Structure formats: C-alpha cells, structure tokens
Chains A and B, each alone.
Chain A
C-alpha cells in the first residue's frame, strides 16, 4: 500500500510507520536499517549488563507490533538483508501456508522472551504455557482447529498433577480442585457420558442409572477383595501388591474393570428387556424402581437378608485391592518417589475417560447412533425404516451400562471399598443433572456438566460458603451448628447441596434450555418441541372436498 500521488486520503487517516518510512530518502533508510540491526544486536549483547535495555527493547517491539505488525515484519526482512541473507522474502513466499502462519509469532515472541529473560525477569511457567496454548490455537489450520480446544484441555488435564501446587487462588472459589476431586470428576464424567448414551442419544429417560454404577463397583468388590475368603475361596489372577494368603478372589483390576463393564452391560440388557417396551414417563418410573431394587439388594444382601453374604450389607465390602500398576511401578509408588499413587489413579481414570469419549463419539456417528437418534425423534417412523426398536434401545442401555460399570469398578478400587449408601436414588439424579446441565447429547457438554457439578459437590460449595462467611456474613465459627445450613451467622453450603443444584438446573433451563454446551439437534428440539404424532392426520380436512369436486366431473 504505497502512498500513490493523488490518491484520496480520508482526513482521519493516520500515517502508519511504514508510510512514514517510505517517505524518507534512500540513504537515510539504509542508515536507519543498519542502525536498528546494530541496536538489536547490541541490545542482545549487553542486556546482561544493562539490565533495563532488554526490557526496553522488548517493550519497543511489542508496542510496534501492536500498532503496526507489518513494520515488524519489514524490520525482520531488513535485518536478514543487512546480515547478508539474499532473497529472504522471495524464499519466504515459497513456504507452505502453515509455515508462513507458524513462524512469525515465534520470530516475535522468542526475542521478546529472550530479551526479558536476559534483562533479569525470567518468564513465569504459567505465562509460557498460556503463550504456547495461544500459539497452537493460532497456528492450526482451520480444519484442525476444531481439535485445538479438546487437545488443549487434554494437555492441561494430563499435566494437572504437575502444576496443581503452583497454581494461584481464584477469588471466590479459592483453591483449584485437588487430585481426589479430579479423579471423581473423571469418573463422574464417564458415568455421565454413559447415561448420555441412554438419555441423550436414544432419548430414554433413565432414573436408575446408579444401579449400573453399583453393579460395577460390587463386581470389583467381589473379584478383587478378600470378601469371599469367608467361603474358603482363594483365587489369584494377575493382581499385584496383594498380601499373600488373605484368601478371596484377586484378579488384576484392569481385567476386573472389563469384567465389571461386561457384567453391567449384561445387567443393562436384563433390566432393559422388560422395561424398554414402555415409553416415556412409564419407562422412567420403572427404571427408578430398578435403581432402588439394586440399592436395596446392596444394602440387605448379607447373610441375614439373603442367606448368602453377597454384599456384606450396610458396612459394605472393604478393603478392595488397590489397582496394580505392575510390580516395578508399585514398588516406586511405595517408595514415595517420582510419582504419587493418586496421580497414577488420576491418569488411569483419565485414560478410561478418553476411551469412553472415543467410544461414545464413534457410536454416535455410526449406524447404531443414527438409529438411536431416529428412535428419539420418532419411534414409529424409525420402526418403519427397519430399525428394530427393542434391540436398538437395549443396545443403548447396554452401552450406557458398560461405561457406568467400568466407572463403578474403578471407583471401588480407588476408594478401596464399596458402601451401599453410595448407590442411592440421589446419585442417579445427580448424574442425570450433569447430563441435562451440560447439554443432552453433547459429549463435551456432558463432561463440562459432570466436572462442574462434581467440583461443586466435592469442594466448590464448601469453598464458596467459606468465602461468603469470611467476606459477607458475620460468621462466628464457634457459635455455628454444623448440622444446620445457616446458624451463628455462618452459611453451610454443602448441607443445601441438592437444593442448590436444583436451583442451578432451573436457572440453566431458563437461560440456556439446551444445556451449557447444547447439541445442535437438541437445541432445535428444545426450541420447537417434539410431539408424539398421531398415526392419522386428523387435521388435514379438505381431502373430502377434493374428492367431491373431481369425482363427478369424471363420472
């Protein structure tokens, strides 16, 4: 964009540095060019001694870059030209678009970082990570950019244990979630994704999902604990870190997860076969009943109730074998060096979650997933298109149960015990809330919902009420009654948890009816509503009139 003679300029045109530069005579340009390169080189060289100069140059470059990045680019070409690189610009133009996109930010950022560093202020790791993330998002070509956010989140999630203790405090929410909470988030995400297959994809309301969670957890308890030693059973298969001679069944947790998931899927099919003939509200009520049945069996399935000690009744089964990571790694963990037990658990849970996400998305986009959505939209039409309703719905149940069972088994071994009180109705509703809050049908939304609600449940509510008590209310901890939500001027959030979740759900439904991250289809559904249509078109009156008009003419 040269300043062409006679070219009309609006009065408010601000002459850019480039235009200013172009007005200068040649000799002056060359002089300044050399001067700038010299200054940069000298700045680099002396910034160790001259503490401020590095920062100064950094600021200069950033300011110029912000106001006119083209001039920085020019500066760069000049610099290359001045140091003897020929045809740099022409060669640059031949580079692939990706490289052309990827290199400039590095060329800008690296000197800035280096100069500030040389000037005595080492960049903070958090800032570098942030820059790197921004950079990756910027560099990716548009077709890959849709993966950018998941990959970024994944990278942050995987490295979470490494930087957790270096993180700052957020104002109201205080500290970031602990590793313990993160494990719970990963597992509840798994369960929510499993439930999403049933509720979100196939549109079958399931109020008893906790049953699958329980079956998975109890399977882990049976297959990896001393529980059955009371019946003289002693079986060992691949378990590491289990003391010798304590009896019971001890199968490697990794196998147990698979077995538990498969068993739970079978349970899903068994529950599904009689119930899935029902539609809508009726199905919901029956699943509710099944959820309660499983919970009650867990609570009463001891020698007194069942004649055979299946679940050990109210105290639950305890201990369950901790997960083994191979004898070598287990030894390292016991030494307490290099790696924490909870970090490993977290990474394993993350791996399980990733597998779940992968399967869930693949299934959604498959023939089966299409059939689920078709059933959700219109059962009659779906059946007429050759979709076997019962079989397809049962698959949704089995799929959802599979992941619920795997999550349950993993949670059991992480907590090293199962307790019947963990499997009551409210957990079903809690998981359903995650699905609804996040956005039914959308895997990412469901994960967001699960992460948010689990965090609130574990830490968030306590942290927030702590902040309220410190800053807003006049709280006297000594006068507070810990069993009451509000006492002694103190607010005890966790006691009101389900009320608060309810309020959140109501709010989200009012403001974002499709959930936090809605699925596109669902959004349409929520906006327009889906009705069970009658088989007959009762509204299309007028058909008879056409007959009246046409028949006599022809007769």
Chain B
C-alpha cells in the first residue's frame, strides 16, 4: 500500500470564540474518492479552505504527498497539486471559457514577462500548446464550442463544468470539489457522477468531495467522513455511514436516531 496522498492531523480552526473545525483527523488514500458530509455549518468548507491554503489553520498539520504544507499560501498548494472548485461558482466571469482554463494552467506554464514581450519561440510554443491543451480539456469536460464565450454567458451547468475544467487545468493530484452538483438537475447530476468516477479511473486522480446530494455521495464515494459542529463524528464506507446512529442524529435529531 502506498502512503496516503493527504494526511490531516488535528486540524483546527477558530474564528474568535467559534471553533469551526475541531481537531479533525483525515486521511485520503491515493486514487480514491472520499466524501465529506455534514449539516450546513458543520465546517466542511472551512476544512477545504484550510487544505487549500485560503485559511491558516489554528492548529494541526496538513501533509500532502509526503510534504508538510500547513499554512502555505493557496498558490503554493495549487503548485504542489491540490486543485479545487468553489461552492458558489467563482469563475472569472469576464474571461472566456478558454481563458479561464489558461489561468488554471498558470502554475504549469513558465512564460516570463520579458519572454512574452519579445515573443521568444519558447514562450510562443508554450502558449500555443497551452491553448491546445485547454481546448482538449474543455472537450474532456463536455464543453464544446464555448471556448470563446464569456464565462458569465455560459449556462449554469456549463459554469459548473468549467469550474472543474479550470481546476483540472492546474494538473492536480488531489481534486477538491465543493458541492459540484448543487443546482444541477437529476440528469446532469447523474452524468457528473460518472464523470467523477472517470476522473479517478482514467486520470488517476484522487478526489475529495463535499456534497449534499446523498445519491451522489452513496453512489460514488469509497469512504465518507461526517462532520458536525466541526467535529468528525463518523468515518467509513457508505453502508456503515447510512446506519450510523450518530450521523442520523446529526441530521435529523435524537428522536429520529431512536426510531431508526
């Protein structure tokens, strides 16, 4: 067994007196799909934001691919191979779909200011290759014929897909998807679920998913971690989680747990 891709130990975040994430341990094995669930306000996105460097953890460590990345800035995390999407779509609205993907490639390109000004052959070649790769990536994410469309003019589902394409453009080892199917219709959700599975199987990606749609979660993830009030209350395979009384209690209250 290879060492796990991501090892999080005792991760903690306090906002003033509020403990948003409370000493969470978390392990993501390679080439797996892990899910993180929990009621609203359970600290899922805060957890994501610490792994991706948006927030500095109050305490605890984030070890990614054998390297301690605790408290590193977001771009450093992305460079090491952590890509993410956002819960509320945060595309560059005034850029075209292709430009969005090209921005995602930023840390994988080397073109410097002077090289770009003088248009050196290396920079030009790199730029052309990046564009080609960007188009392939859009194609891969089922975005056809939209490369020159401004992101704000894309349909909601396409915007979600473009977010994933942009995250994939960073060439991540670990892809964090924050509620990727929110607002999708059942058909789109179904397609997306198989797309995520394809990412793991074909692209050899490791995926960490925050999701509220239980069909997606139960269908695709290998292991599920449940957070409630910032604490990890359960961890295990989907079947175990479904029958875990603590999880039912967290979602439905004590009464429901007793009757289940």
Contacts and interface: CB of A to CB of B under 8 A. Distances in A.
A366 B260 CA distance: 59
A368 B52 contact: no
Interface in A528-546: 528, 530, 533-537, 540, 543-544, 546
B131 to A, nearest CB: 11
A412 interface: no
Contact of B74 (A362, A369, A384, A551): A384
A510 to B, nearest CB: 22
A547 B39 contact: yes
Contacts of A369: 116
B93 A377 contact: yes
Interface in A343-364: 358-359, 362-363
A524 B106 contact: no
Contacts of B10: none
Interface stretch (B56-64, B190-198, B201-209, B213-221): B213-221
Interface stretch (B22-30, B80-88, B139-147): B80-88
Given A371-B103, A550-B213, A551-B252, A386 B79 contact: yes
A384 B76 CA distance: 9
B251 A370 contact: no
Contacts of B109: 367
A338 B20 CA distance: 78
Nearest to A359: B117
B9 interface: no
A370 B74 contact: no
A20 interface: no
Contacts of B260: 552, 555
A333 interface: no
Interface string B78-114: 1100001011101111110001001110111101110
Contact of A362 (B117, B215, B243): B117
B237 interface: no
Contacts of B76: 388
Interface residues of A, number: 49
B45 A525 contact: no
Contact of A387 (B106, B213, B251): B106
A380 B214 contact: no
A450 to B, nearest CB: 21
A521 interface: yes
A537 B248 contact: no
Given A371-B103, A385-B106, A544-B39, A555 B117 contact: no
A389 B169 CA distance: 18
Contacts of B45: 535-536
Contacts of B99: 370, 373
A535 B49 contact: yes
Contacts of A522: 94
Contact of B256 (A363, A385, A552): A552
A382 B260 CA distance: 46
A552 B94 CA distance: 42
B243 to A, nearest CB: 7
Contact of B212 (A370, A385, A388, A546): A546
B119 A362 contact: yes
A226 interface: no
Interface string B145-180: 000001010000000000000100110000000010
B88 A537 contact: yes
A386 B107 contact: yes
B111 A367 contact: yes
B236 interface: no
Contacts of A421: none
A399 interface: yes
B116 A368 contact: yes
A554 B104 CA distance: 38
> What does DSSP make chain A's interface, helix, strand, loop or mixed?
helix
Contacts of B106: 367, 370-371, 374, 385-387
A524 B256 CA distance: 50
Contact of A373 (B73, B94, B248): B94
A291 B249 CA distance: 60
B54 A384 contact: yes
Contacts of B179: 537, 543
A367 B73 contact: no
B151 to A, nearest CB: 9
Nearest to B130: A367
B40 interface: yes
A363 B116 CA distance: 6
Contact of A524 (B54, B150, B170, B215): B150
Given A366-B116, A367-B111, A383 B213 contact: no
A7 interface: no
Given A537-B87, A547-B39, A377 B212 contact: no
B75 interface: yes
A546 B260 CA distance: 19
A70 B260 CA distance: 90
Nearest to B55: A535
A186 to B, nearest CB: 20
Nearest to A398: B113
A370 B40 CA distance: 35
Given A377-B95, A395-B113, A555-B260, A387 B75 contact: yes
Contact of A535 (B40, B54, B75, B166): B54
B212 A543 contact: yes
B95 A521 contact: yes
Contacts of A359: 117
A399 B102 CA distance: 22
Nearest to A525: B94
A92 to B, nearest CB: 38
Contacts of A370: 95, 99, 102-103, 106
Contact of B214 (A362, A371, A385, A551): A551
Contacts of B256: 552
A281 interface: no
Contacts of A377: 92-95
B113 A368 contact: yes
Nearest to A367: B111
A537 B41 CA distance: 11
B242 A384 contact: no
Nearest to A377: B92
Contacts of B40: 543-544
A517 B143 CA distance: 32
17 contacts: A362-B116, A368-B116, A370-B103, A377-B95, A381-B90, A382-B103, A386-B75, A387-B107, A521-B95, A528-B93, A536-B45, A540-B183, A543-B179, A547-B212, A551-B251, A552-B252, A555-B248
Interface of A: 358-359, 362-363, 365-371, 373-374, 377-378, 380-389, 395, 399, 521-522, 524-525, 528, 530, 533-537, 540, 543-544, 546-548, 550-552, 554-555
Given A371-B103, A383-B75, A386-B104, 5 more contacts: A366-B111, A385-B166, A534-B88, A536-B45, A537-B87
Interface of B: 39-40, 45, 49, 52-54, 73-76, 78-79, 84, 86-88, 90-95, 99, 102-104, 106-109, 111-113, 116-117, 119, 123, 127, 150, 152, 166, 169-170, 179, 182-183, 212-215, 218, 242-243, 248, 251-252, 256, 260
The 7 closest A-B pairs by CB, nearest first: A386-B107, A366-B116, A386-B78, A383-B74, A537-B88, A521-B94, A381-B90
